[in-house]
């Protein structure tokens, strides 16, 4: 099996990304495992930087038209 250090999410739908982020938040809060919340925050930070927008605006974008 080929090993990967990083995985790209080039074509994931807005809905799927929002579900992933919400699942990370839910799991982090309900298990008290901070790693899930840090991962969620890191994903939001990275994607908002790629989109050249604020983190709040990026979350609004994901929620738009749902």
Tens of pLDDT, residue by residue over 30-56, are 999 999 999 999 999 999 999 999 999
Q: Is residue 59 part of a domain?
A: yes
Structural domain of residue 50, as residue ranges? Answer: 14-63
Return the pLDDT at 11: 85
Residue 22 inside a domain? The answer is: yes
Residue 63: pLDDT above 80?
Answer: yes
Q: Is residue 58 part of a domain?
A: yes
Q: Work out how many domains the chain is built from and give that number.
A: 1
Choice between 9 and 31, residue whose per-residue pLDDT is larger: 31
- pLDDT at position 56 is 96
**DSSP letter string, 1-66:** ----S----TT--HHHHHHHHHHHHHHHHHHT-HHHHHHHHHHHHHHHHHTTS-HHHHHHHHHTT-
**9 falls within a domain:** no
Indicate whether 3 belongs to any domain. no
Which residue reads 């990275």 in tokens?
46
pTM across the whole model: 0.84
The answer as to whether 55 is a domain residue is yes
> Residue 8: inside a domain, yes or no?
no
């Amino acid at each position: 099996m080929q090993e990967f250090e990083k995985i790209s999410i080039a074509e994931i739908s807005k809905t799927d990304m929002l579900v992933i982020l919400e699942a990370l938040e839910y799991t982090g809060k309900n298990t008290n495992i901070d790693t899930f919340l840090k991962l969620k925050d890191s994903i939001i930070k990275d994607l908002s930087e790629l989109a050249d927008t604020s983190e709040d605006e990026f979350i609004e974008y994901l929620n738009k038209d749902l």
